[in-house]
Structure 1
């Protein structure tokens, strides 16, 4: 499922269930549009809470947790847009014979209406503000669940043609009920139910603004597939917030896992400065569905910066085969390449994968893509990408220029926040 499938689908269902409850001669009014958009905004918030629960079923439906969080973000943005229209224009007409589901005084009804809009605005703006330190941002974002309850109270207390027994009321009640349960689970139960295991740091390697962590399970590890990621939560003051990192290792019987981390934010910089061998961590995993394309005649793997991590795990996957048709392109900044180009080249050569370093100067990425199309039918070339969005735009351009179908691009979103 794509983000727009979810957004448009919810809007259409909401609109249809509402329109059958009001006279058709009032459909083309600002009040009807306000009612539809306001109701859709609440539905978006409910589904966003459901997606944030990290449910396995939801991840499968969207094709990966990175897609789930991308949809979660857009649901919040469109909820704020729709709620803004709903806040400005009255969502009621006298001919509708509207009544509130929950009777409240005019003062509290008006106050809850205003607070619900402020609450939604705070949720979305805090979620999108990258200047807030991660630790503070995470705790503010935890308020999304309680603030969601204020918006539900607004729905129940304002006059509308909806009741809990008509299609629109049932639709919204089901979504809000699921959203509240999901928010409760994520806020209070997730750390106890979803913890995959307790680990101990066994090795630390530092680079310039980067680090490599190896961890071993205290009791038993978890199974995972090459290319998946985990949420790492160190059991140290200031480092307890779960943070997503790709597992840069293939599964082994020892349960050992490895992370390659770029220290660019406040959390990762603090992690680089403070982490030591022997520290304990909780790891929530595995997540992600970034995998190789079986049967592809030619594969091009493109890793940008720390986006090289899933390809490291692919190279170490002893259960995989057909490496001779793959080319690994490592896009890096020469002043802070980590892992080193030499190390990656050695790993690639060991598995029979062609290695290309793209660190400035000649555009080796463009040359690699163009050369591949002279040797293989472009329709049979599959590109797997993990890296910054700017680099992904460049990859799309090169694929278009070379005639490689857009559907042959497989990627994982580089950032969640």
Structure 2
């Protein structure tokens, strides 16, 4: 994620302090703080809805799209925490006049909070099938709209037409407009490049798909990914996949898709030559640097796909020595070994090293350092694979002298958990607190 984007988000949530601070001398400071937390949650949710649009320019400000997905997840979690605190800390103030919809707005705010709680929790439970998660994820926009309704009509110490009200309203409108764009406008006029399936091959548990353009086609760089959908065979759902070949003059595209879930299993089973496809993109900044510094490429399992494109691109560019580590689990899990071996034979600067864990071999930072022959500080390391392996390799290499800025990686899993143990405990504690609070209020005698 890029620092300018993070600074903009933090700045957006701090700006309301300019207007909230003067109110603290006139109103209950605790209740006012609770209202600030709720307002900040709406600001973050509005930004998050906008990030989901994938409009041009987002990657320039916030970083590559795979990083934006990570940011999207944590903004949602942060907004949820702020909403929970807003609900726990009493925001009611004396002397406020509510409109005719104030009571309804308060109830709708409760529905919004718990609806978002459930949906964000569902996002963190990664064993829920992707298509079910994606379908339920659409309702986040509806619950955000409820939250915006809550803000517009709830009792508060400022009006919607004062600077503070207008500022927060801008983010509410941004989020609502983004939701309408994603849910209504974009499906009616889908963007993307029209392609047709040229070939489909099964390589073990991998489906290798080559697409040819119906018109101009899409330009891309080695290492980028795109969103892919097909018109037929029940495969119209859009999914991101890495492009596994270097750019060609005729703009054909190749995808190497691992059978990892319901959609990819159906794709490998039912996709046929001649079917129409839509490709949207390209996205991502996982691309090769210029220069002749030594490079280390590490592809684990299907994480080898961007390095297929990297290796193919070496035919038409100058580079320094490249060591490609292809990490696999057993001898039957090496679908691209022959292709890479042929490329390594024809490219003097490319060395292919297959690391097979079934043979008791592991790729360690020490192994990489030894193979580089003392040139670690000069090298660029590119990694695509499981998170645990990436973290271990990165920390070990940085401790030995690699510059952190020279360790490049792609978010191999865009949908990840958020620590369900801690989240579940927080949800339980929050729910029990609210339940006990309401029971105590009901037990109080009416005045």
> What is the CA distance between 1:219 and its match in structure 2?
2.4
Aligned partner of 1:383 in structure 2 is 381
Contact 1:231 1:243 in 2 (8 A): yes
Question: Out of 122, 131, 138, which is 2:127 matched to?
Answer: 131
Structure 1, residues 130-174: CA drift from partner, whole Å, max 9, x if none? Answer: 222222222221222222211100111211223334343232122
Separation in structure 2 between the aligned mates of residue 145 and residue 296 of structure 1, nearest angstrom: 48
Separation in structure 1 between the aligned mates of residue 374 and residue 388 of structure 2, nearest angstrom: 27
Question: Out of 340, 343, 346, which is 2:336 matched to?
Answer: 340
> What is the CA distance between 1:368 and its match in structure 2?
4.0
Aligned partner of 1:353 in structure 2 is 350
SS in 1 for 2:132: helix
SS in 1 for 2:31: helix
Contact 2:24 2:32 in 1 (8 A): no
Whether 1:277 aligns to 2:269 is: no
Separation in structure 2 between the aligned mates of residue 319 and residue 147 of structure 1, nearest angstrom: 51
Aligned partner of 1:11 in structure 2 is 13
Separation in structure 1 between the aligned mates of residue 136 and residue 56 of structure 2, nearest angstrom: 25
SS in 2 for 1:238: coil
> What is the CA distance between 1:269 and its match in structure 2?
1.2
Aligned length: 410
Question: Out of 241, 254, 259, which is 2:255 matched to?
Answer: 259
SS in 2 for 1:75: helix
- The equivalences for 1:207-226 within 5 A come to 207-226=203-222
Whether 1:142 aligns to 2:132 is: no
Q: What TM-score, normalized by structure 1, do the two folds share? A: 0.91
Contact 1:296 1:380 in 2 (8 A): no
Separation in structure 1 between the aligned mates of residue 273 and residue 102 of structure 2, nearest angstrom: 61
RMSD: 2.3
> What is the CA distance between 1:24 and its match in structure 2?
4.3
Quickly say closer, same or farther: Cα 1:335–1:6, change in 2 above 3 A. farther
Structure 1, residues 107-141: CA drift from partner, whole Å, max 9, x if none? Answer: 41232121111232133123223222222222221
- The equivalences for 1:96-115 within 5 A come to 98=96, 103-115=99-111
- The equivalences for 1:28-107 within 5 A come to 29-94=29-94, 98=96, 103-107=99-103
Contact 2:102 2:155 in 1 (8 A): no
Whether 1:371 aligns to 2:370 is: yes
Separation in structure 2 between the aligned mates of residue 367 and residue 286 of structure 1, nearest angstrom: 35
Separation in structure 1 between the aligned mates of residue 166 and residue 226 of structure 2, nearest angstrom: 37
- The equivalences for 1:162-241 within 5 A come to 162-191=158-187, 193=189, 195-241=191-237
Separation in structure 2 between the aligned mates of residue 9 and residue 369 of structure 1, nearest angstrom: 41
Q: Of the two, which has the highest radius of gyration?
A: 2
SS in 2 for 1:90: coil
> What is the CA distance between 1:215 and its match in structure 2?
1.0
> What is the CA distance between 1:392 and its match in structure 2?
0.8
> What is the CA distance between 1:364 and its match in structure 2?
4.0
Aligned partner of 1:22 in structure 2 is 23
SS in 2 for 1:205: strand
Aligned partner of 1:392 in structure 2 is 390
> What is the CA distance between 1:320 and its match in structure 2?
5.0
Q: What TM-score, normalized by structure 2, do the two folds share? A: 0.85
Separation in structure 2 between the aligned mates of residue 51 and residue 127 of structure 1, nearest angstrom: 16
SS in 1 for 2:194: strand
SS in 2 for 1:40: helix
Structure 2 unaligned blocks of 5 or more: 416-447
Quickly say closer, same or farther: Cα 1:385–1:205, change in 2 above 3 A. same
SS in 2 for 1:316: helix
Separation in structure 2 between the aligned mates of residue 163 and residue 55 of structure 1, nearest angstrom: 32
> What is the CA distance between 1:201 and its match in structure 2?
1.3
SS in 2 for 1:362: coil
SS in 1 for 2:175: helix
> What is the CA distance between 1:271 and its match in structure 2?
1.1
Separation in structure 2 between the aligned mates of residue 373 and residue 9 of structure 1, nearest angstrom: 43
> What is the CA distance between 1:30 and its match in structure 2?
3.4
